Amino acid sequence: MTELFLLNKNQILTTLAIMLVLWIFQFILKKTANRVGHNSGIHVTRTRLMFKYINVLVTILAIFLLSLTWGYNAQELALIFSSVFAIIGVAMFAIWSILSNITAGIILFFSFPYKIGSRIKIHDKDLPIEAVIEDIKAFHLHLRTLEGELITYPNNLILQKAVSLIEKEYHADEGKDAL
């Protein structure tokens, strides 16, 4: 066991340093996302979604850096990563709308002025929508119309349409006639 440690002492120490730095980096990113979410009044489920994206980013960085540490040279890694990203790129081109909705979801997290519970109007010439935001997911919004209809609206479209805020927080029991 000591021979193994002595033979790989530099790699083990570098691995520990990389893991520590990435853990600190992940902690800082999560704290920042949490602070942005808290200051902007963003629902906790949307903040947790950002945490998943941060975890994926840190994992990819860890795989790349640890591969370099344990003996892969940069040319081999570049070949592996370019091959993987080429395959992913072809797959994402085939399903580009998923990627655009995820990207729009990230943009909505940081800059969308409306929150869950806000009553909005989407100005679309073909299908104008007036509804309450029930949930904001990675790919789409859940909107509930005043008639009770649930509409799933893609994130990338909400960034392309004009949206008006009607009420900051709408409660479902308001506006209904008492029986």
- What are residue 173's DSSP bridge partners? none
The answer to whether residue 109 is domain-embedded is no
Which residues neighbour 137 within 8 Å (Cβ) at sequence distance 6 or greater?
49, 105, 155
Report if residue 134 sits inside a domain.
yes
120 and 48 in a single domain? The answer is no
Domain holding 133: CATH number? 2.30.30.60
| Cβ atoms 139, 83 nearer than 8 A | no
pLDDT for res 175: 45
pLDDT at residue 178 in the model: 39
Cβ contact 167:115 at 8 Å: no
Question: To which residue do tokens 């797959």 refer?
Answer: 91
Considering the domain architecture, whether residues 87 and 120 belong to the same structural domain is answered as no
Query: Do 83 and 15 reside in the same domain of the chain?
Result: yes
Same-domain status, 67 and 131:
no
The verdict on residue 122 lying in a domain is yes
What strands, in cross-sheet order, belong to the sheet with 150-154? 150-154, 140-145, 129-136, 119-123, 162-167
Q: Which helix (H) or strand (E) holds 37?
A: helix 9-40
pTM of the entire predicted model: 0.52
Do 127 and 65 lie in a common domain?
A: no
Note whether residue 132 is domain-resident.
Answer: yes
Domain that holds residue 163: 114-167
Determine the pLDDT at residue 1: 66
Looking at the fold, whether 31 and 60 belong to one and the same domain comes out as yes
Looking at the structure, tell me whether residues 124 and 158 fall in a common domain. yes
Number of domains, the chain: 2
pLDDT of residue 169: 65
Same-domain status, 80 and 128: no
Q: Which of 32, 60, 94 is the last residue in one of the domains? A: 94
For the chain, how far is it from start to end, CA to CA, in angstroms?
78
One-letter identity of residue 162: A
175 part of a folded domain: no
Q: Is residue 15 part of a domain?
A: yes
- In tens digits, what is the pLDDT along the chain, a chain of 179 residues? 677 777 778 888 999 999 999 999 999 999 998 898 888 887 788 888 889 889 988 998 898 888 888 777 777 777 877 887 788 777 766 677 777 888 888 888 777 788 888 899 999 888 889 999 998 888 888 999 989 999 999 888 888 888 888 877 655 554 444 33
Q: For 95-129, where are the alpha helices, taking DSSP H only?
A: 96-111
Q: Does residue 160 sit in the same domain as residue 119?
A: yes
The answer to whether the CB of 118 falls within 8 A of the CB of 167 is yes
